[in-house]
Each structure stands twice: as C-alpha cells, then as structure tokens.
Amino acid sequence: MKIGVLGAGNISRMVAPTLVAMPQIECYAVSSRDLSKAQAFADAFGFEKVYGSYEEMLRDPAVELVYVATPHSHHYEHMMQCIDYGKPILCEKAFTLNADQARKVKTAAAEKGVFVAEAIWPRYMPSRKIISDVMNSGVIGRPDTLTANLSYVISGVPRIVTPELAGGALLDIGVYGINFALMHFGTDIERVESSVRMTDTGVDGMESVTVFYRDGRMAVLTHSIYARSDRKGIIHGDKGYMVVENINNPQSLRVYDTDDNELAFYDFSDQISGYEFQFAECAEALAAGKTEAPSMPMDDTVFVMDFMDGLRRQWGLVYPQEQE
C-alpha cells in the first residue's frame, strides 16, 4: 500500500521508521507546506515523491492511504480535502476539535465511500483483546474500579499550550486515558465528573476525570502536561487486580491476587514500535473494500469526541475556532 504522509512534523518523523520496516507499506509520498522540509523527510526515510503542498500530494493518483499528521486544530480541514480527492485517511488523534467536526467527516466520507480511521494506536494493538479477555476471565473477580494516568512534561511545547492549535492535556494525552476506560469498561455511562487546572494560555493543563458506570463500576483518569506519570492503567476487582504498563503503548500486563502475589505476566513488547498495527489494519481493511477500521469504527471515534466535548463544557473550554 502506497502511503502519503500529510505534514512532515514530529509524529510523522516518529512513525516513519516503523513504516519503513513494514513489508505491506510502501513509503511513497510526503507533503509539507515547505518543499525543503518534505525533501529532508524523504531523504531521511527513503520516500519516493515529495510535495510542497498537501493538495499536490492529494492529486497524485498513486497515493493509496493518507496519514494526516497535523495538529488537531487542522485535522478537519485536511481530512475534508482528502475526502474531496477520494483519498483514504488514517488521521492522528485527537480526531478533530470536537464531535460536530467528527460527525461531518464521518458523513462526508460515507457519502463518498472514502475510508477513514483515527490513529489512536492502542485500539489496534493485540494487547487490547488480551487485557479485556483477562479482565473478563474472572481471575481478578468482578472488575470494580479502573484507574489510568498519562502525563508528560510537555508544557514547554508550543502546540500543547496554544489554544488556536487546540492545545491542552485533554486532546493530546487525555484521549488515551479515556480510550483505555472505554475500551475495557465500555460506554454504558451514567455520568462523568471532572476537575481541571487551566494554563495561563487558557487550555487545560491538568485534570482528573471520574466516570460513573450504570452498573456501579467507576473509572478515574488523570492527565497532566507538567509531570511524567507512571502511565499505568490498573483494573481492580474483588479477587485481585491487573496492571497495564503504559496505557499509551502497553508493554506488559501483570495480574495479582488480593495478597499482591503475581499470578500472570503477559509481555507485549514484541512489536516494531506499536505504530504498525493501525497501518496494518488500514491496509487490510482497504484491501477488503471496507470504509472503516474494525478496531476503531467512526461511531467509536465520535463517542470519544462527544465525551471530550462534555468535559470541555464542564470546564468552559472553547477553542478560538469554536467561538462565534
């Protein structure tokens, strides 16, 4: 599958070595607003075609999947351009600024029969099913609470604190905690409570989110742009608990009984980087003529965006693009 990278920034550079290592992916084209930047990217990773604008790349009939890797603030515009050109899309998280944009992308893609998926990588990993299977096996008894955290020291990164780029912890890292809870505890939610501390620039810097499920379970999530957290996701039951190492890119799962004896260990480190699974699934889905990725259908993406809209309403956080 010939891939076209849209935006030659930080994540594209992080993902490129994985694309190079995947036999089913051809590192075909890269586009940037700056031709020399695209050229430097192509030289570094061996991409064949170089474009000095995104649109030029979208006009190339050979591109089979566009990887949208621009800031969240621009995903909607760039995905709509892809859809205009009939190009299949894998778009970085957070999928859009808000649920309204996500719904519009979903509808426009469906109308044109264009494939679209969100690059929220843990959803596509084999570890996802193993974690859920272990949880449902009864080994920790009845799952009761879930805690997950993801914090990085990124408050100095301009994109993260700039409202115009939809900065803040929520759309950048909070989306992982939320996906972890939704993947393993589901979506039958009674209510969500949260607390936030805003940055001087007016985006969310740190937050805690408590999800109350209708059946009595609870998930507690924390995210911050000021600290490095242990990134653990822990599911607690009445017979024990299970610890996922790094909800951002799960490396292992350990299962314990109520006396803290380790009962089982699952190693997830046998991967290129973890980025490969989402690209592999897109290639497979496209070959099968699908318009969505089975691991992250558009309805799930829209659910996550609605969830995050709800938190922002609690905090009064409105991005400049959303202001009338």
- Where on the chain is the footprint of ligand NAP (CB under 6 A)? 7-11, 32-34, 37, 69-72, 74, 92-93, 121, 159, 172
Q: Whose Cβ is closer to ligand NAP: residue 68's or residue 114's? A: 68
Q: Whose Cβ is closer to ligand NAP: residue 2's or residue 37's? A: 37
CB of 229 to ligand NAP, least distance (A): 16
Q: Whose Cβ is closer to ligand NAP: residue 135's or residue 282's? A: 282
User: At 230, is the secondary structure helix, strand, or coil?
Assistant: coil
Which positions ≥6 away from 133 have C-beta within 8 Å? none
CB of 91 to ligand NAP, least distance (A): 8
Locate the DSSP E strands across the chain.
2-6, 26-31, 49-51, 65-68, 89-92, 116-119, 143-151, 189-198, 204-213, 218-224, 233-237, 240-245, 252-257, 262-267
Q: Whose Cβ is closer to ligand NAP: residue 123's or residue 236's? A: 123
CB of 50 to ligand NAP, least distance (A): 11
CB of 48 to ligand NAP, least distance (A): 17
CB of 136 to ligand NAP, least distance (A): 27
Q: What is the DSSP track for 17-71?
A: HHHHH-TT-EEEEEE-SSHHHHHHHHHHHT-SEEESSHHHHHT-TT--EEEE-S-
Q: Whose Cβ is closer to ligand NAP: residue 135's or residue 293's? A: 293
Q: Whose Cβ is closer to ligand NAP: residue 13's or residue 103's? A: 13
Q: Measured at CB, which residue is nearest to ligand NAP?
A: 9
What is the C-alpha separation between 251 and 269, in angstroms, rounded? 5
- Helix H or strand E segment including 285: helix 276-287
What is the C-alpha separation between 233 and 191, in angstroms, rounded? 21
Write the CA distances from 192 to 210, 221, 310, integer angstroms: 6, 11, 8
CB of 187 to ligand NAP, least distance (A): 22
What is the C-alpha separation between 291 and 73, in angstroms, rounded? 24
What is the C-alpha separation between 169 and 226, in angstroms, rounded? 9
The answer to whether residues 283 and 74 touch, using CB atoms and an 8 Å cutoff, is no
CB of 171 to ligand NAP, least distance (A): 7
Asked if residue 94 has a cis previous peptide bond (ω within 30° of 0), the answer is yes
Q: Whose Cβ is closer to ligand NAP: residue 34's or residue 190's? A: 34
Which residue is it, tokens 């474009």? 51
